Amino acid sequence: MKKFVPLVKNSALFDGINDDDLEHLLACLNAKVTEVKKNSFIWMQGDSHYNVGLVLHGKVNIIKEDIMGNRSLIAGIEAPHIFGESLVSSGAPQSPVSVQAAMDSTIMLIDFLRLVKTCNSACAFHSRLIQNMMKIIAQKNMYLNEKIDYLKRTTTRQKVATYLINHISDKIALKAIIPLNREEFADYLGVNRSALSRELSSMKEEGLIEYKKNKFSILDYASINELVF
Amino acid sequence: MKKFVPLVKNSALFDGINDDDLEHLLACLNAKVTEVKKNSFIWMQGDSHYNVGLVLHGKVNIIKEDIMGNRSLIAGIEAPHIFGESLVSSGAPQSPVSVQAAMDSTIMLIDFLRLVKTCNSACAFHSRLIQNMMKIIAQKNMYLNEKIDYLKRTTTRQKVATYLINHISDKIALKAIIPLNREEFADYLGVNRSALSRELSSMKEEGLIEYKKNKFSILDYASINELVF
DNA sequence: TAATTTGCGTTGCATTTGCAACATTTTGAG
DNA sequence: CTCAAAATGTTGCAAATGCAACGCAAATTA
Protein backbone atom coordinates (compact mmCIF):
# COMPACT_ATOMS: atom_id res chain seq x y z
CA MET A 1 0.00 0.00 0.00
CA LYS A 2 2.93 2.28 0.59
CA LYS A 3 3.24 3.19 -3.05
CA PHE A 4 -0.28 4.57 -3.11
CA VAL A 5 0.28 6.96 -0.24
CA PRO A 6 1.47 9.83 -2.47
CA LEU A 7 -1.61 9.38 -4.64
CA VAL A 8 -4.19 9.38 -1.88
CA LYS A 9 -2.70 11.94 0.46
CA ASN A 10 -4.27 14.83 -1.41
CA SER A 11 -7.73 13.42 -1.08
CA ALA A 12 -9.98 15.28 1.32
CA LEU A 13 -10.87 11.88 2.70
CA PHE A 14 -7.42 11.56 4.23
CA ASP A 15 -6.95 15.16 5.19
CA GLY A 16 -5.03 15.67 8.42
CA ILE A 17 -3.52 12.19 8.41
CA ASN A 18 0.23 11.96 7.99
CA ASP A 19 1.99 9.59 5.61
CA ASP A 20 2.98 6.95 8.12
CA ASP A 21 -0.46 6.81 9.64
CA LEU A 22 -1.97 6.80 6.20
CA GLU A 23 -0.05 3.71 5.20
CA HIS A 24 -1.28 2.01 8.31
CA LEU A 25 -4.80 3.19 7.67
CA LEU A 26 -4.92 1.91 4.10
CA ALA A 27 -3.96 -1.52 5.33
CA CYS A 28 -6.52 -1.31 8.11
CA LEU A 29 -9.20 -0.37 5.58
CA ASN A 30 -8.24 -3.22 3.31
CA ALA A 31 -8.35 -0.82 0.37
CA LYS A 32 -8.17 -2.41 -3.08
CA VAL A 33 -6.63 -0.74 -6.07
CA THR A 34 -7.65 -1.57 -9.62
CA GLU A 35 -6.67 -0.38 -13.05
CA VAL A 36 -9.60 0.26 -15.35
CA LYS A 37 -9.57 0.80 -19.10
CA LYS A 38 -11.27 3.73 -20.76
CA ASN A 39 -15.02 3.17 -21.20
CA SER A 40 -15.14 0.18 -18.89
CA PHE A 41 -17.78 0.29 -16.19
CA ILE A 42 -16.81 0.37 -12.55
CA TRP A 43 -20.40 0.24 -11.36
CA MET A 44 -23.62 -0.30 -13.23
CA GLN A 45 -26.88 1.41 -12.52
CA GLY A 46 -29.03 -0.83 -10.34
CA ASP A 47 -26.06 -2.58 -8.76
CA SER A 48 -25.73 -2.88 -5.02
CA HIS A 49 -22.31 -2.12 -3.68
CA TYR A 50 -20.70 -1.08 -0.48
CA ASN A 51 -17.52 0.65 -1.52
CA VAL A 52 -16.44 4.21 -1.72
CA GLY A 53 -14.37 4.88 -4.84
CA LEU A 54 -11.32 7.11 -4.89
CA VAL A 55 -9.86 8.17 -8.21
CA LEU A 56 -6.08 7.87 -7.87
CA HIS A 57 -5.33 8.63 -11.47
CA GLY A 58 -7.48 9.46 -14.48
CA LYS A 59 -11.16 10.31 -14.54
CA VAL A 60 -14.53 8.61 -14.21
CA ASN A 61 -17.93 9.74 -15.36
CA ILE A 62 -21.14 9.42 -13.40
CA ILE A 63 -23.81 8.48 -15.89
CA LYS A 64 -27.54 7.97 -15.84
CA GLU A 65 -29.18 5.74 -18.41
CA ASP A 66 -32.82 5.34 -19.24
CA ILE A 67 -34.61 2.28 -20.52
CA MET A 68 -34.10 3.37 -24.09
CA GLY A 69 -30.35 3.42 -23.56
CA ASN A 70 -30.01 7.18 -23.63
CA ARG A 71 -27.21 8.31 -21.39
CA SER A 72 -26.75 11.58 -19.65
CA LEU A 73 -23.63 12.72 -17.92
CA ILE A 74 -24.18 13.71 -14.31
CA ALA A 75 -20.64 14.57 -13.30
CA GLY A 76 -17.00 13.84 -13.97
CA ILE A 77 -14.78 12.85 -11.07
CA GLU A 78 -11.03 13.35 -11.33
CA ALA A 79 -8.18 12.51 -8.98
CA PRO A 80 -8.04 12.84 -6.04
CA HIS A 81 -11.79 12.91 -5.53
CA ILE A 82 -14.16 10.24 -4.31
CA PHE A 83 -17.42 8.89 -5.62
CA GLY A 84 -20.23 6.74 -4.31
CA GLU A 85 -19.97 8.17 -0.82
CA SER A 86 -23.57 9.37 -0.62
CA LEU A 87 -24.90 6.21 -2.12
CA VAL A 88 -23.25 3.83 0.31
CA SER A 89 -23.66 6.08 3.32
CA SER A 90 -27.35 6.51 2.64
CA GLY A 91 -27.91 2.79 2.61
CA ALA A 92 -29.68 2.98 -0.74
CA PRO A 93 -30.24 -0.56 -2.03
CA GLN A 94 -29.42 0.22 -5.65
CA SER A 95 -27.29 2.72 -7.44
CA PRO A 96 -29.28 5.25 -9.51
CA VAL A 97 -26.22 5.82 -11.69
CA SER A 98 -23.41 4.03 -13.46
CA VAL A 99 -19.74 4.89 -13.15
CA GLN A 100 -17.63 4.60 -16.27
CA ALA A 101 -13.95 5.28 -16.80
CA ALA A 102 -13.55 8.40 -18.94
CA MET A 103 -9.96 7.39 -19.60
CA ASP A 104 -7.58 4.68 -18.43
CA SER A 105 -7.69 5.18 -14.70
CA THR A 106 -6.58 3.87 -11.34
CA ILE A 107 -9.28 3.47 -8.74
CA MET A 108 -9.08 2.67 -5.06
CA LEU A 109 -12.09 0.94 -3.56
CA ILE A 110 -12.65 1.22 0.17
CA ASP A 111 -15.11 -0.92 2.03
CA PHE A 112 -17.64 1.37 3.61
CA LEU A 113 -18.31 -0.73 6.68
CA ARG A 114 -14.64 -0.79 7.55
CA LEU A 115 -14.51 2.90 6.96
CA VAL A 116 -17.29 3.80 9.37
CA LYS A 117 -16.62 1.23 12.06
CA THR A 118 -13.89 2.49 14.30
CA CYS A 119 -11.56 -0.40 14.82
CA ASN A 120 -10.62 -1.27 18.36
CA SER A 121 -7.00 -1.67 17.40
CA ALA A 122 -4.27 0.88 17.16
CA CYS A 123 -5.78 2.74 14.23
CA ALA A 124 -5.91 6.10 15.94
CA PHE A 125 -6.70 8.15 12.90
CA HIS A 126 -9.81 6.32 12.01
CA SER A 127 -11.89 8.87 13.87
CA ARG A 128 -10.42 11.61 11.75
CA LEU A 129 -11.24 9.61 8.65
CA ILE A 130 -14.87 9.36 9.63
CA GLN A 131 -15.06 13.08 10.27
CA ASN A 132 -13.54 13.72 6.86
CA MET A 133 -16.05 11.48 5.19
CA MET A 134 -18.90 13.18 6.95
CA LYS A 135 -17.52 16.55 6.02
CA ILE A 136 -17.28 15.64 2.35
CA ILE A 137 -20.88 14.48 2.27
CA ALA A 138 -22.09 17.50 4.21
CA GLN A 139 -20.22 19.88 1.93
CA LYS A 140 -21.81 18.33 -1.10
CA ASN A 141 -25.07 18.79 0.69
CA MET A 142 -24.44 22.51 1.13
CA TYR A 143 -23.38 22.72 -2.49
CA LEU A 144 -26.58 21.03 -3.65
CA ASN A 145 -28.70 23.29 -1.51
CA GLU A 146 -27.10 26.31 -3.06
CA LYS A 147 -27.64 24.94 -6.53
CA ILE A 148 -31.30 24.34 -5.82
CA ASP A 149 -31.54 27.92 -4.66
CA TYR A 150 -30.55 29.00 -8.17
CA LEU A 151 -32.56 26.43 -10.05
CA LYS A 152 -35.79 27.29 -8.27
CA ARG A 153 -35.77 30.90 -9.36
CA THR A 154 -37.98 31.52 -12.31
CA THR A 155 -36.08 33.93 -14.51
CA THR A 156 -32.55 33.77 -15.79
CA ARG A 157 -31.99 37.25 -14.45
CA GLN A 158 -32.85 36.18 -10.93
CA LYS A 159 -30.55 33.21 -11.18
CA VAL A 160 -27.67 35.34 -12.39
CA ALA A 161 -28.27 38.00 -9.77
CA THR A 162 -28.36 35.45 -6.96
CA TYR A 163 -25.28 33.67 -8.22
CA LEU A 164 -23.30 36.87 -8.50
CA ILE A 165 -24.32 38.11 -5.07
CA ASN A 166 -23.19 34.79 -3.60
CA HIS A 167 -19.88 34.88 -5.41
CA ILE A 168 -18.67 38.37 -4.67
CA SER A 169 -15.00 38.12 -3.81
CA ASP A 170 -14.26 41.82 -3.61
CA LYS A 171 -16.88 43.30 -1.33
CA ILE A 172 -15.78 46.87 -1.96
CA ALA A 173 -15.66 46.87 -5.72
CA LEU A 174 -18.43 44.27 -5.89
CA LYS A 175 -16.51 42.03 -8.21
CA ALA A 176 -17.06 38.33 -8.75
CA ILE A 177 -14.77 35.97 -10.59
CA ILE A 178 -16.65 32.85 -11.47
CA PRO A 179 -15.04 29.44 -11.98
CA LEU A 180 -17.17 28.53 -14.99
CA ASN A 181 -17.16 29.38 -18.64
CA ARG A 182 -20.40 30.49 -20.29
CA GLU A 183 -21.53 27.06 -21.26
CA GLU A 184 -20.84 25.65 -17.80
CA PHE A 185 -22.45 28.68 -16.19
CA ALA A 186 -25.59 28.22 -18.26
CA ASP A 187 -25.69 24.52 -17.50
CA TYR A 188 -25.18 25.13 -13.80
CA LEU A 189 -28.05 27.59 -13.67
CA GLY A 190 -30.20 25.30 -15.75
CA VAL A 191 -30.70 27.66 -18.67
CA ASN A 192 -29.87 27.69 -22.32
CA ARG A 193 -26.44 29.10 -23.14
CA SER A 194 -27.67 31.62 -25.69
CA ALA A 195 -30.47 32.68 -23.38
CA LEU A 196 -27.86 33.34 -20.72
CA SER A 197 -25.77 35.38 -23.13
CA ARG A 198 -28.83 37.35 -24.09
CA GLU A 199 -29.72 38.04 -20.48
CA LEU A 200 -26.18 39.05 -19.56
CA SER A 201 -26.16 41.46 -22.48
CA SER A 202 -29.43 43.00 -21.38
CA MET A 203 -28.19 43.41 -17.85
CA LYS A 204 -25.06 45.09 -19.13
CA GLU A 205 -27.14 47.27 -21.44
CA GLU A 206 -29.29 48.35 -18.49
CA GLY A 207 -26.23 49.22 -16.45
CA LEU A 208 -26.78 46.57 -13.81
CA ILE A 209 -23.54 44.71 -14.33
CA GLU A 210 -20.32 44.79 -16.29
CA TYR A 211 -18.38 41.74 -17.35
CA LYS A 212 -15.67 40.35 -19.47
CA LYS A 213 -15.19 36.61 -19.74
CA ASN A 214 -15.59 35.27 -16.24
CA LYS A 215 -14.95 38.55 -14.41
CA PHE A 216 -18.12 40.28 -13.35
CA SER A 217 -18.79 43.47 -11.49
CA ILE A 218 -22.04 44.62 -10.03
CA LEU A 219 -22.72 48.24 -10.93
CA ASP A 220 -26.21 48.63 -9.48
CA TYR A 221 -26.20 46.63 -6.26
CA ALA A 222 -29.65 47.71 -5.16
CA SER A 223 -31.32 46.50 -8.34
CA ILE A 224 -29.36 43.25 -8.41
CA ASN A 225 -30.15 42.55 -4.79
CA GLU A 226 -33.82 43.21 -5.36
CA LEU A 227 -33.86 40.28 -7.76
CA VAL A 228 -32.58 37.94 -5.06
CA PHE A 229 -35.50 38.28 -2.64
CA MET B 1 -31.82 12.96 30.71
CA LYS B 2 -33.95 9.90 31.27
CA LYS B 3 -37.18 11.75 30.71
CA PHE B 4 -36.12 12.72 27.22
CA VAL B 5 -35.45 9.19 26.09
CA PRO B 6 -39.03 8.58 24.90
CA LEU B 7 -38.86 11.79 22.89
CA VAL B 8 -35.57 11.14 21.13
CA LYS B 9 -35.81 7.41 20.55
CA ASN B 10 -37.80 7.86 17.35
CA SER B 11 -35.17 10.09 15.83
CA ALA B 12 -33.20 8.49 13.02
CA LEU B 13 -30.14 9.84 14.78
CA PHE B 14 -30.59 7.31 17.57
CA ASP B 15 -31.84 4.47 15.46
CA GLY B 16 -30.69 1.06 16.64
CA ILE B 17 -29.77 2.23 20.12
CA ASN B 18 -31.82 0.84 22.98
CA ASP B 19 -33.28 2.91 25.77
CA ASP B 20 -30.71 2.17 28.42
CA ASP B 21 -27.82 2.85 26.11
CA LEU B 22 -29.57 5.95 24.88
CA GLU B 23 -29.79 7.41 28.35
CA HIS B 24 -26.10 6.79 28.76
CA LEU B 25 -25.38 8.27 25.36
CA LEU B 26 -27.31 11.48 26.02
CA ALA B 27 -25.25 12.05 29.11
CA CYS B 28 -22.06 11.26 27.25
CA LEU B 29 -23.03 13.77 24.54
CA ASN B 30 -23.81 16.43 27.09
CA ALA B 31 -27.02 17.17 25.25
CA LYS B 32 -28.86 20.31 26.33
CA VAL B 33 -32.61 20.72 26.16
CA THR B 34 -34.29 24.10 25.85
CA GLU B 35 -37.84 25.30 25.58
CA VAL B 36 -38.39 27.95 22.94
CA LYS B 37 -41.37 30.20 22.43
CA LYS B 38 -43.13 30.57 19.11
CA ASN B 39 -41.32 32.97 16.75
CA SER B 40 -38.16 33.07 18.82
CA PHE B 41 -34.96 32.43 16.94
CA ILE B 42 -32.83 29.43 17.75
CA TRP B 43 -30.12 30.41 15.30
CA MET B 44 -29.61 33.54 13.27
CA GLN B 45 -28.31 33.68 9.76
CA GLY B 46 -24.59 34.45 9.83
CA ASP B 47 -24.08 32.88 13.24
CA SER B 48 -21.38 30.34 13.86
CA HIS B 49 -22.45 27.37 15.85
CA TYR B 50 -21.41 23.82 16.46
CA ASN B 51 -24.56 22.08 17.50
CA VAL B 52 -26.95 19.75 15.83
CA GLY B 53 -30.55 20.52 16.73
CA LEU B 54 -33.16 17.88 17.41
CA VAL B 55 -36.80 18.86 17.60
CA LEU B 56 -38.28 16.98 20.55
CA HIS B 57 -41.64 18.66 20.42
CA GLY B 58 -43.14 21.29 18.16
CA LYS B 59 -41.79 22.64 14.91
CA VAL B 60 -39.06 24.95 13.65
CA ASN B 61 -38.77 26.76 10.36
CA ILE B 62 -35.59 27.16 8.35
CA ILE B 63 -35.62 30.66 6.97
CA LYS B 64 -33.50 32.70 4.62
CA GLU B 65 -33.50 36.45 4.84
CA ASP B 66 -32.12 39.00 2.44
CA ILE B 67 -30.70 42.42 3.20
CA MET B 68 -34.08 44.02 2.68
CA GLY B 69 -35.57 41.81 5.37
CA ASN B 70 -37.57 39.64 3.02
CA ARG B 71 -37.87 36.14 4.37
CA SER B 72 -38.37 32.95 2.52
CA LEU B 73 -39.21 29.64 4.07
CA ILE B 74 -36.78 26.89 3.14
CA ALA B 75 -38.21 24.03 5.17
CA GLY B 76 -40.17 23.13 8.27
CA ILE B 77 -38.68 20.62 10.69
CA GLU B 78 -40.96 18.73 13.05
CA ALA B 79 -40.25 16.21 15.80
CA PRO B 80 -38.35 13.95 15.79
CA HIS B 81 -36.16 15.37 13.03
CA ILE B 82 -32.83 17.11 13.23
CA PHE B 83 -31.52 20.33 11.73
CA GLY B 84 -28.15 21.96 11.23
CA GLU B 85 -26.43 18.64 10.59
CA SER B 86 -25.07 19.59 7.17
CA LEU B 87 -23.99 22.97 8.34
CA VAL B 88 -21.92 21.82 11.26
CA SER B 89 -20.59 18.71 9.54
CA SER B 90 -19.46 20.71 6.54
CA GLY B 91 -17.43 23.03 8.72
CA ALA B 92 -19.08 26.10 7.17
CA PRO B 93 -18.07 29.18 9.14
CA GLN B 94 -21.47 30.84 9.03
CA SER B 95 -25.02 29.68 8.77
CA PRO B 96 -26.75 30.68 5.51
CA VAL B 97 -30.11 30.38 7.22
CA SER B 98 -31.95 31.23 10.41
CA VAL B 99 -33.95 28.79 12.49
CA GLN B 100 -37.13 30.07 14.09
CA ALA B 101 -39.66 28.28 16.25
CA ALA B 102 -42.90 27.86 14.31
CA MET B 103 -44.68 27.13 17.59
CA ASP B 104 -43.71 26.66 21.23
CA SER B 105 -41.17 23.88 20.96
CA THR B 106 -38.66 21.78 22.79
CA ILE B 107 -35.24 21.51 21.22
CA MET B 108 -32.28 19.35 22.09
CA LEU B 109 -28.86 20.71 21.15
CA ILE B 110 -26.03 18.26 20.72
CA ASP B 111 -22.42 19.33 20.50
CA PHE B 112 -21.12 18.23 17.14
CA LEU B 113 -17.56 17.58 18.24
CA ARG B 114 -18.71 15.26 20.97
CA LEU B 115 -20.95 13.58 18.50
CA VAL B 116 -18.25 12.77 15.97
CA LYS B 117 -15.42 12.01 18.35
CA THR B 118 -15.74 8.47 19.55
CA CYS B 119 -15.15 8.58 23.25
CA ASN B 120 -12.63 6.20 24.69
CA SER B 121 -14.91 5.30 27.54
CA ALA B 122 -17.66 2.78 27.73
CA CYS B 123 -19.91 4.49 25.24
CA ALA B 124 -20.22 1.54 22.89
CA PHE B 125 -23.02 2.89 20.80
CA HIS B 126 -21.24 5.99 19.75
CA SER B 127 -20.10 4.34 16.57
CA ARG B 128 -23.68 3.58 15.67
CA LEU B 129 -24.57 7.19 16.32
CA ILE B 130 -21.93 8.39 13.89
CA GLN B 131 -23.15 6.01 11.24
CA ASN B 132 -26.69 7.26 11.76
CA MET B 133 -25.59 10.85 11.40
CA MET B 134 -23.71 10.07 8.23
CA LYS B 135 -26.69 8.20 6.88
CA ILE B 136 -29.03 11.10 7.53
CA ILE B 137 -26.76 13.52 5.71
CA ALA B 138 -26.20 11.12 2.84
CA GLN B 139 -29.92 10.49 2.47
CA LYS B 140 -30.58 14.20 2.26
CA ASN B 141 -27.89 14.26 -0.35
CA MET B 142 -29.67 11.64 -2.42
CA TYR B 143 -32.90 13.53 -1.96
CA LEU B 144 -31.34 16.77 -3.15
CA ASN B 145 -29.80 15.07 -6.16
CA GLU B 146 -33.17 13.74 -7.13
CA LYS B 147 -34.75 17.14 -6.74
CA ILE B 148 -32.11 18.72 -8.95
CA ASP B 149 -32.87 16.07 -11.53
CA TYR B 150 -36.40 17.44 -11.73
CA LEU B 151 -35.52 21.09 -11.52
CA LYS B 152 -33.01 20.92 -14.35
CA ARG B 153 -35.50 19.68 -16.88
CA THR B 154 -36.81 22.41 -19.07
CA THR B 155 -40.49 21.69 -19.49
CA THR B 156 -43.13 21.02 -16.90
CA ARG B 157 -44.10 17.92 -18.81
CA GLN B 158 -40.61 16.47 -18.50
CA LYS B 159 -40.57 17.20 -14.78
CA VAL B 160 -43.90 15.52 -14.23
CA ALA B 161 -42.96 12.52 -16.34
CA THR B 162 -39.69 12.02 -14.50
CA TYR B 163 -41.31 12.43 -11.13
CA LEU B 164 -44.04 9.93 -11.90
CA ILE B 165 -41.64 7.35 -13.31
CA ASN B 166 -39.58 7.64 -10.13
CA HIS B 167 -42.60 7.30 -7.89
CA ILE B 168 -44.34 4.30 -9.39
CA SER B 169 -45.46 2.14 -6.50
CA ASP B 170 -47.45 -0.39 -8.49
CA LYS B 171 -45.18 -1.55 -11.29
CA ILE B 172 -47.87 -3.60 -12.98
CA ALA B 173 -50.64 -1.06 -13.10
CA LEU B 174 -48.14 1.80 -13.33
CA LYS B 175 -49.71 3.72 -10.52
CA ALA B 176 -48.08 6.39 -8.41
CA ILE B 177 -49.45 7.89 -5.23
CA ILE B 178 -47.65 11.09 -4.51
CA PRO B 179 -47.23 12.55 -1.01
CA LEU B 180 -47.89 16.13 -2.10
CA ASN B 181 -50.93 18.18 -2.91
CA ARG B 182 -50.99 20.23 -6.10
CA GLU B 183 -49.47 23.32 -4.61
CA GLU B 184 -46.67 21.37 -2.94
CA PHE B 185 -46.14 19.35 -6.09
CA ALA B 186 -45.80 22.51 -8.17
CA ASP B 187 -43.44 24.04 -5.64
CA TYR B 188 -41.34 20.91 -5.48
CA LEU B 189 -40.95 20.81 -9.24
CA GLY B 190 -40.26 24.53 -9.32
CA VAL B 191 -43.22 25.49 -11.48
CA ASN B 192 -46.29 27.62 -11.13
CA ARG B 193 -49.29 25.81 -9.69
CA SER B 194 -51.68 26.79 -12.45
CA ALA B 195 -49.10 25.91 -15.07
CA LEU B 196 -48.85 22.49 -13.48
CA SER B 197 -52.61 22.06 -13.51
CA ARG B 198 -52.66 23.09 -17.15
CA GLU B 199 -49.95 20.60 -18.06
CA LEU B 200 -51.57 17.76 -16.14
CA SER B 201 -54.82 18.45 -17.95
CA SER B 202 -53.09 18.36 -21.32
CA MET B 203 -51.38 15.11 -20.47
CA LYS B 204 -54.69 13.60 -19.44
CA GLU B 205 -56.33 14.98 -22.59
CA GLU B 206 -53.63 13.35 -24.71
CA GLY B 207 -54.15 10.02 -22.99
CA LEU B 208 -50.70 9.92 -21.40
CA ILE B 209 -51.84 9.79 -17.81
CA GLU B 210 -54.91 9.58 -15.64
CA TYR B 211 -55.21 11.10 -12.21
CA LYS B 212 -57.48 12.04 -9.40
CA LYS B 213 -56.16 14.03 -6.50
CA ASN B 214 -52.78 12.55 -5.66
CA LYS B 215 -53.35 9.19 -7.35
CA PHE B 216 -51.79 9.00 -10.78
CA SER B 217 -51.61 6.26 -13.35
CA ILE B 218 -49.46 6.16 -16.42
CA LEU B 219 -51.47 5.11 -19.44
CA ASP B 220 -48.83 5.51 -22.16
CA TYR B 221 -45.59 4.39 -20.58
CA ALA B 222 -43.56 4.64 -23.75
CA SER B 223 -44.43 8.29 -24.31
CA ILE B 224 -43.93 9.20 -20.67
CA ASN B 225 -40.59 7.46 -20.55
CA GLU B 226 -39.45 9.21 -23.69
CA LEU B 227 -39.77 12.50 -21.83
CA VAL B 228 -37.37 11.32 -19.14
CA PHE B 229 -34.28 10.84 -21.35
C1' DT C 1 -77.78 22.30 6.82
C1' DA C 2 -75.59 26.54 5.73
C1' DA C 3 -71.56 29.08 5.43
C1' DT C 4 -66.80 29.41 4.77
C1' DT C 5 -62.44 27.87 3.54
C1' DT C 6 -59.34 25.28 0.88
C1' DG C 7 -57.80 22.86 -3.14
C1' DC C 8 -57.78 22.44 -7.86
C1' DG C 9 -58.88 23.51 -12.71
C1' DT C 10 -59.35 27.06 -16.49
C1' DT C 11 -58.04 30.83 -19.29
C1' DG C 12 -56.06 35.22 -21.45
C1' DC C 13 -52.03 37.63 -21.85
C1' DA C 14 -47.44 39.26 -21.64
C1' DT C 15 -42.97 37.67 -20.93
C1' DT C 16 -39.39 34.52 -21.00
C1' DT C 17 -36.87 31.01 -22.92
C1' DG C 18 -35.36 27.09 -25.72
C1' DC C 19 -33.68 26.24 -30.05
C1' DA C 20 -31.28 26.83 -34.17
C1' DA C 21 -28.57 29.28 -37.13
C1' DC C 22 -25.23 32.54 -37.79
C1' DA C 23 -21.74 36.36 -36.43
C1' DT C 24 -17.92 37.79 -33.89
C1' DT C 25 -14.13 37.43 -30.73
C1' DT C 26 -10.57 34.93 -28.37
C1' DT C 27 -7.30 31.35 -27.97
C1' DG C 28 -3.76 28.40 -29.12
C1' DA C 29 -1.00 25.70 -32.30
C1' DG C 30 2.20 25.83 -35.95
C1' DC D 1 2.00 36.16 -37.67
C1' DT D 2 -1.54 33.11 -39.65
C1' DC D 3 -5.10 30.18 -39.42
C1' DA D 4 -8.27 27.03 -37.43
C1' DA D 5 -10.89 25.90 -33.54
C1' DA D 6 -13.23 27.11 -29.54
C1' DA D 7 -15.81 30.35 -26.91
C1' DT D 8 -19.07 33.81 -26.75
C1' DG D 9 -22.58 36.96 -28.55
C1' DT D 10 -26.81 37.92 -31.58
C1' DT D 11 -31.27 37.21 -33.34
C1' DG D 12 -35.89 35.40 -35.11
C1' DC D 13 -39.41 32.56 -33.90
C1' DA D 14 -42.38 29.32 -31.74
C1' DA D 15 -43.45 27.29 -27.55
C1' DA D 16 -43.75 27.30 -22.67
C1' DT D 17 -44.89 29.41 -18.52
C1' DG D 18 -45.53 32.86 -14.84
C1' DC D 19 -49.13 35.57 -13.27
C1' DA D 20 -53.56 37.01 -12.13
C1' DA D 21 -58.23 36.45 -11.99
C1' DC D 22 -62.05 33.61 -11.73
C1' DG D 23 -65.05 29.33 -11.22
C1' DC D 24 -66.23 25.14 -9.17
C1' DA D 25 -66.19 21.33 -5.96
C1' DA D 26 -64.76 19.16 -1.80
C1' DA D 27 -63.82 19.63 2.88
C1' DT D 28 -64.33 21.83 7.16
C1' DT D 29 -66.65 24.41 10.58
C1' DA D 30 -70.39 26.66 12.72
Nearest beta carbon to residue B141 from set A144, A225, A228: A144
CB contact under 8 A, B86 and A145: yes
Q: Which residues of B touch A72 (CB under 8 A)?
A: 229
Distance CA A173, CA A142 (A): 27
pLDDT, position B169 = 92
> Which run of H or E residues covers position A186?
helix A182-189
How crowded is residue A201: how many other Cβ atoms within 10 Å of its Cβ?
11
Distance from the Cα of B160 to chain A's closest Cα (Å) equals 15
Suggest the residue from B94, B144, B189 to mutate for an interface test with chain A (most A CBs closer than 10 A): B144
Any A CB within 8 A of B72 CB: yes
Suggest the residue from B97, B112, B121, B141 to mutate for an interface test with chain A (most A CBs closer than 10 A): B141
Which residues fall within 8 angstroms of residue B26, CB to CB, at 6 or more apart?
Answer: B1, B4, B5, B8
CA pseudo-torsion sign B193, A199, B157, A152: negative
CB contact under 8 A, A133 and B137: no
CB contact under 8 A, B91 and A139: yes
Burial grade of B54 (CB within 10 A; 0-12, 13-18, 19 or more): buried
The model's confidence at residue B2, banded by pLDDT at 50, 70 and 90, is: confident
pLDDT, position A94 = 92
How crowded is residue B213: how many other Cβ atoms within 10 Å of its Cβ?
9
Convert the pLDDT of each residue in B144-184 to its tens digit: 999 999 999 999 999 999 999 999 998 899 999 999 999 99
- pTM score, whole prediction: 0.92
Using the structure, give the distance in angstroms from the CA atom of B197 to the C1' atom of C11, rounded to a whole number: 12
The half-sphere exposure of A90 on its side-chain side, counting CA atoms within 13 A, is: 22
Mean pLDDT is lowest, of A18-32, A80-94, A95-109, B187-201, for A18-32
Q: Which residues of A touch B139 (CB under 8 A)?
A: 90-91
pLDDT, position A120 = 58
Whether A29 contacts A111, CB under 8 Å = yes
How crowded is residue B207: how many other Cβ atoms within 10 Å of its Cβ?
10
Q: Which residues of B touch A145 (CB under 8 A)?
A: 86, 96, 144
Which residues fall within 8 angstroms of residue A172, CB to CB, at 6 or more apart?
Answer: none
B156 touches strand D (CB under 7 A): yes
Whole-number average pLDDT of chain A: 90
CB contact under 8 A, A85 and B225: no
Using the structure, give the distance in angstroms from the CA atom of B219 to the C1' atom of C9, rounded to a whole number: 21
Using the structure, give the distance in angstroms from the CA atom of A201 to the C1' atom of C17, rounded to a whole number: 15
Convert the pLDDT of each residue in B64-74 to its tens digit: 876 555 567 78
Distance from the Cα of A66 to chain B's closest Cα (Å) equals 6
